[in-house]
């Protein structure tokens, strides 16, 4: 099922909207229309709007927000399975030449302006998970005029500097950075691509009756630090894994990897000569987090290997308007994917999000 089918399956109204960015990318965004405050939900890396709905009406944040009367808008970044169009006939190399910077500096402004124009509202509320927080930081630092359009931002598992990331494969990726860069230049434009056969494989391997379910566990552990499949609903896990991945650019992945290698939240590194041409500096400039003055609520967990507490504490020192901060204790053992997909997301995350948005 796609996002529209997920929404209609549970008898919610749905609207499909097309947003065209200033550089010609065509984004599909979805709306569960209500009369309340517009809330924009922004997914993580290689994911899509599906992520906010696959737990069904009782467990998914999109449906819980709609039930609470909010006007729910579901974002899809350029390059994911819902947003692969461009107004021009670009080559593959041209199309995929973007990272999370363009998502934040171009996709989000176009989407926010579209929502505010459609609803005749002056501001919206923002909920981002993982990369959805990264591109919020890019937006409000590179396009600071958008701070005034954010009523409040709830940033789940926030990711800016990733000095202390602990996912098992990070050292492998960093040691092979030159090879990964070569592969991207050689035409491997997309990573975490949506694939029907892969989705079917995930759905079957992650089924509770699968004799090789440990493959599912290994995959989720190696990539996201999920240490127990029981943290996901046994009934929902095959559904969740059949919707991911949804695709993104190799450049996005490399941009995050650069952040770990260089221990800095900065713009894409093209090499000294190209950096000099683009940035007037051999070293890419850092994103100016001090320009962000929209009110933010940070939610982090001591058991998150991707958005680590140490990195989030460093982030806190650079943000000017933190109105709330929640640090989930290690005894909860609440890991990265659980923020959106976990069986405990309803009580630990969703109810807190709704309560905060009502303030």
Q: 220 vs 353, which has greater pLDDT? A: 353
Task: State mean pLDDT over 309-334.
Answer: 97
Q: What pLDDT score does 234 carry? A: 67
CA distances to 23, 36, 338, 348 from 233, in Å: 40, 31, 11, 15
Which H or E run contains 116?
helix 108-119
CA 165/CA 223 separation, integer angstroms: 12
Q: Is 336 labeled as catalytic in the residue annotation?
A: yes
Question: How deeply is 177 buried, as exposed, middle or buried, from its count of CB atoms within 10 A (0-12, 13-18, 19+)?
Answer: middle
Task: Report helix, strand or coil for 158.
Answer: coil
Task: State mean pLDDT over 229-244.
Answer: 78
DSSP annotation of 348 reads I
Task: Report helix, strand or coil for 36.
Answer: coil
Q: Half-sphere exposure (CA, 13 Å, Cβ side) for 332?
A: 20
Beta-strand relationship, 15-20 and 124-129: unpaired
pLDDT of 32-84, one tens digit each? Answer: 999 999 999 999 999 999 999 999 999 999 999 999 999 999 999 999 999 99
Query: Which band of pLDDT confidence, cut at 50, 70 and 90, is reported for residue 211?
Result: confident
pLDDT of 88-103, one tens digit each? Answer: 999 999 999 999 999 9
Task: Flag whether pLDDT at 228 surpasses 80.
Answer: no
Task: State mean pLDDT over 141-154.
Answer: 99
Q: Which residues contact 91 (CB under 8 A, 6 or more apart)?
A: none
Fold of 3-164+286-357: Rossmann fold (3.40.50)
CA 49/CA 84 separation, integer angstroms: 14
Residue 268 in contact with residue 251, Cβ under 8 Å?
Answer: yes
DSSP annotation of 286 reads B
pTM greater than 0.85 (yes/no): yes
Place of tokens 């954010």: 150
Q: Is 174 labeled as catalytic in the residue annotation?
A: no
Which H or E run contains 140?
helix 131-142
Task: Report helix, strand or coil for 160.
Answer: coil
Q: Where are the domains of the chain?
A: 3-164+286-357
Which residue spans within the chain are E strands per DSSP? 15-20, 25-32, 38-42, 71-74, 85-86, 124-129, 150-156, 190-191, 248-249, 296-301, 322-328
Of 202, 243, 255, 336, the catalytic one is: 336
CA 16/CA 284 separation, integer angstroms: 37
Q: What is the dihedral of CA 177, 309, 249, 228, to 10 degrees?
A: 100
Question: How deeply is 179 buried, as exposed, middle or buried, from its count of CB atoms within 10 A (0-12, 13-18, 19+)?
Answer: exposed
Selection from 177, 110, 161 nearest residue 313 by Cα:
161
Q: What percent of the chain has pLDDT over 70?
A: 97
Task: Report helix, strand or coil for 35.
Answer: coil
Question: How deeply is 134 buried, as exposed, middle or buried, from its count of CB atoms within 10 A (0-12, 13-18, 19+)?
Answer: buried
Of 60, 130, 233, 242, the catalytic one is: 130
Place of tokens 């190209």: 274
Q: What is the largest CA-CA distance in the chain?
A: 57
Q: Which residues contact 62 (CB under 8 A, 6 or more apart)?
A: 7, 32, 41, 52, 53, 72, 74
Q: 202 vs 51, which has greater pLDDT? A: 51
Q: Among 48-57, 238-247, 256-265, 339-348, which stretch is predicted with the lowest mean pLDDT?
A: 238-247
Task: State mean pLDDT over 105-115.
Answer: 99
């Amino acid at each position: 099922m796609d996002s529209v089918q997920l929404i209609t399956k549970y008898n919610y109204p749905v609207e499909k909207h097309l947003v065209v960015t200033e550089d010609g990318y065509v984004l599909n965004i979805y709306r569960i229309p209500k009369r309340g405050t517009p809330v924009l939900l922004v997914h993580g890396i290689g994911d899509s709007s599906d992520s906010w709905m696959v737990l069904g009406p009782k467990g998914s944040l999109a449906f819980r927000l709609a039930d609470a009367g909010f006007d729910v808008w579901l974002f899809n970044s350029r390059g994911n399975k819902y947003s692969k169009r461009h107004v021009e006939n670009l080559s593959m190399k041209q199309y995929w030449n973007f990272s999370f910077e363009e998502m934040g500096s171009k996709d989000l402004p176009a989407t926010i302006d579209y929502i505010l124009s459609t609803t005749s509202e002056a501001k919206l509320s923002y909920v981002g998970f993982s990369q959805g927080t990264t591109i919020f930081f890019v937006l409000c630092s590179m396009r600071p005029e958008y701070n005034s359009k954010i009523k409040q931002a709830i940033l789940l598992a926030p990711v800016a500097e990733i000095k202390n990331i602990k996912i098992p494969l990070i050292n492998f990726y960093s040691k092979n950075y030159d090879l990964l860069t070569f592969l991207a230049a050689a035409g491997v434009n997309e990573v975490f691509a949506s694939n029907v056969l892969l989705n079917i494989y995930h759905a079957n391997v992650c089924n509770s009756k699968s004799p090789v379910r440990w493959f599912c566990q290994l995959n989720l552990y190696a990539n996201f630090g999920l240490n127990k499949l029981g943290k996901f609903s046994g009934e929902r896990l095959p559904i969740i894994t059949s919707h991911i991945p949804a695709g993104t650019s190799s450049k996005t992945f490399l941009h995050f990897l650069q952040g770990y290698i260089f221990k800095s939240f900065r713009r894409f590194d093209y090499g000294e000569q190209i950096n000099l041409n683009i940035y007037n500096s051999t070293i890419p400039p850092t994103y100016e987090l001090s320009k962000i003055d929209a009110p933010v609520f940070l939610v982090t967990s001591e058991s998150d290997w991707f958005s680590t507490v140490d990195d989030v504490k460093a982030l806190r020192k650079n943000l000017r308007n933190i109105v709330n901060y929640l640090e989930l204790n290690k005894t909860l053992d609440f890991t990265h994917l659980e923020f959106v997909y976990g069986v405990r997301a309803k009580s630990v995350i969703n109810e807190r999000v709704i309560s905060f948005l009502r303030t």
